[in-house]
Structure 1
């Protein structure tokens, strides 16, 4: 799981000149087209060179930027009881936005995602499904406000496919209100390139699978704060796994109040205040 933060100015993009007016609200999905693209493949060659490395999320956004202007993406494995975040990347000036959205989605709103629910019901063999969602399409007010309105998001492009074990994998690109709406050209480019992107994503995740995320998190936290106690470190690692304070208490055989005490001490040593900052910290 990896995130790269954009630290430069706002992102002008040549495709923004072709942005549409506000489209009619409707949730849509369709099959990815067969065949191979004929456009310049050099950006994909550069992306392939980043496979398995920490720079892959930034390289993916850079590659997509040739055709689709998006500030952040994520890849989710949807399953019970909650989705799993496999990969994420951001070029937004607020580097923690992607984590705040992910935490809210995974805890409260994944079962209210109208686009995923519709796409999941239309599984058609190995062909990826593509989807398009406007914030206005979301009828559940709490979901629309917490994920989209409160974070300035206006739109999402998605691809849904299934892994070798039949588990749904969702690849999402997000657009911000300040950037306008995805143009017809960008949507067509997403449709054209998503099969190749999915192949590269599979390769990257396969290369990373052999590495223990917990080991990487432990090293990152100890690099930031060498004086973390074993108990404080254990609580942080369980937080990164998505456990609640009650869940951590049960797993470690502690009182919930003790877990919160260890969390507060660890956060003070790490000079952070929120769980989203903890996620951002281990992603470098």
Structure 2
């Protein structure tokens, strides 16, 4: 598929040439990242021949409007990009003003989505670290098992990952629960939550 190929080329070859990167650096130096930046880039603005050809000319894009915002938490930049196909010409003033008028709402929704994504992907690791702090005596194998359990896996999924039989996985899970003083998965999660707020 052409879009996946363009995305791969962009990440591997052209990300450092993106006009948004310089705009972000300039914006952060000037404002500290607190504001939303609207950045317009036309195909004519791109001087690197291959970048222009692969990311704009081949997919027939005439212009991109990006909404950029620096996240104080973690230092990431959020970027929402709107692309105009060549057949529609460039964004007109009315369209630009409309996008700018809804930019705070779009950035807030994107910020919330990004935070939920980070939390969902980091939560098992954070929970595991919390249990490991409470029970430093856990073995390497216990910690591996804990990681799988806190990722939502059951004995049938854990067994092949750890190279053991399903019955052995179930036994190891019971032993781990005993070590941390709980009787099941729900209590394990309760232990982590209690330790967080106590």
State the partner residue of 2:79. 170
Q: Give the secondary structure class of the aligned counterpart of 1:165.
A: coil
Match of 1:118 among 23, 29, 51: 23
Match of 1:134 among 22, 35, 42: 42
1:97 Cα offset (Å): 4.3
State the partner residue of 1:143. 51
Aligned length: 119
Contact 1:132/1:158, CA 8 A, preserved across alignment: yes
Contact 1:119/1:131, CA 8 A, preserved across alignment: no
Aligned-CA RMSD value = 2.1
The reply on whether 1:159 has 2:64 as its aligned counterpart is: no
The reply on whether 1:102 has 2:102 as its aligned counterpart is: no
State the partner residue of 1:204. 113
TM-score by length of 1: 0.39
State the partner residue of 1:189. 98
Greater fraction of residues in helix = 2
| Alignment of structure 1 residues 46-65 onto 2, 5 Å | none
Alignment CA distance shift 1:113-1:208 (3 Å): closer
Contact 2:78/2:111, CA 8 A, preserved across alignment: no
Structure 1 runs of 4+ off > 4 angstroms?
A: none
Contact 1:134/1:154, CA 8 A, preserved across alignment: yes
Q: Give the secondary structure class of the aligned counterpart of 1:154.
A: strand
Whole-angstrom CA distance in 2 between matches of 1:184 and 1:132: 12
Whole-angstrom CA distance in 2 between matches of 1:137 and 1:211: 38
Whole-angstrom CA distance in 1 between matches of 2:20 and 2:110: 21
Query: What do residues 38-64 of structure 1 show as CA deviations (whole Å, max 9, x unaligned)?
Result: xxxxxxxxxxxxxxxxxxxxxxxxxxx
Unmatched tracts of structure 2, length 5 or more: 123-159, 161-198
Tell me: higher relative CO, structure 1 or 2? Use CA pairs within 8 A at least 6 residues apart: 1
Unmatched tracts of structure 1, length 5 or more: 1-95, 214-229, 231-284
| Alignment of structure 1 residues 237-248 onto 2, 5 Å | none
